[in-house]
Amino acid sequence: MFTGAMVALITPFQDGEIDFETIEELIEFQLEGSIDGIVPVGTTGESPTLSHDEQKKVMERVAKAVDGQVPVIVGAGSNSTAEAIELTVHAKKVGADATLQVGPYYNKPTQEGSYQHFKAIAEAVDLPVVLYNIPGRCGVGMTPETIARLSEVENIVAIKEATGSLDQASEIASRCDITIISGDDSLTLPLASIGGKGVISVVANIVPADVKAMTDLILEGDLVSARQWHKKLFVLCKSMLTLATNPIPIKAAMAMLNMAPEELRLPMTPLEEGKRIALKKTLQEYGLLS
């Protein structure tokens, strides 16, 4: 369930409201691209600017639209353990297959605090948990020791590693057998070399079949052939992640490709004009725009 190409789905907005019609169109596009899993209301899905009610509605609509065709792993994390449990309860109620649980942000817990936070969520709701280690967003990350401890908790099955550190991932792999998933598109193949099993991908919003082609080769153990896809995807991945804060560039790209509105919620703002030109060139060079 937690391997291969999984898309970190955007949340499209229209005039300030969630555009559920476009969400369903995007899901159909992902399924046509043979994506292995759909991950709504995470960082890319702008969960920090969704109300809890909106977040729950997106969970429900995505699970209903996917209808069991692939796993749905919904973002249900919070810096409040009680809130994360509440969202996880709802995720199970609406038929999600698992939850993605981001590290507690802003309140900056100790390693013991992080351990107790995730353990409490996993024990409160009988639903698989994918940990999400992204210190650049949260202000604090988990050490390999803490992740290894958490891997022993029933229901904690995988970790989305977005530290950018192969040493970190290597140490996790040496300490336990938790499934390691890349949280950075450009590092999917490098992580595979030390045991990574796939990616929760931003760029898969626009090229799901290409990301899937690479992860299929990775799972087959053919890293040499996967390298060709890595080289093709690399520039596109870096543009999605370095032109501006995610999901600003991916929403701009999807608008250029007539896939979804570019609209964001404050404090996220549209891509600057100079960077928009660079993004358009990248899409043209990839073959997505004429």
Give me the residues paired with residue 7 across strands: 38, 201
CA–CA gap between residue 192 and residue 169 (Å, rounded)? 10
Reported as type and span, the H/E element at residue 222 is none
Cα torsion angle, 148, 38, 140, 235, sign: positive
CA–CA gap between residue 143 and residue 266 (Å, rounded)? 32
Written as six digits, the tokens of 191 are 């992580």
105 is catalytic: no
As to burial, measured by CB atoms within 10 angstroms (0-12 exposed, 13-18 middle, 19+ buried), residue 8 is buried
280 is catalytic: no
CA–CA gap between residue 84 and residue 118 (Å, rounded)? 9
Written as six digits, the tokens of 61 are 């609509």
Could you give the 3-state DSSP secondary structure of residue 103? Answer: coil
**Of the listed 56, 119, 160, 197, which one is catalytic?**
160
Compute CA 104 distance to the chain's CA centroid, rounded to the nearest angstrom.
Answer: 16
**Of the listed 56, 115, 132, 286, which one is catalytic?**
132
As to burial, measured by CB atoms within 10 angstroms (0-12 exposed, 13-18 middle, 19+ buried), residue 161 is buried
CA–CA gap between residue 160 and residue 149 (Å, rounded)? 16
| Catalytic machinery residues | 132, 160
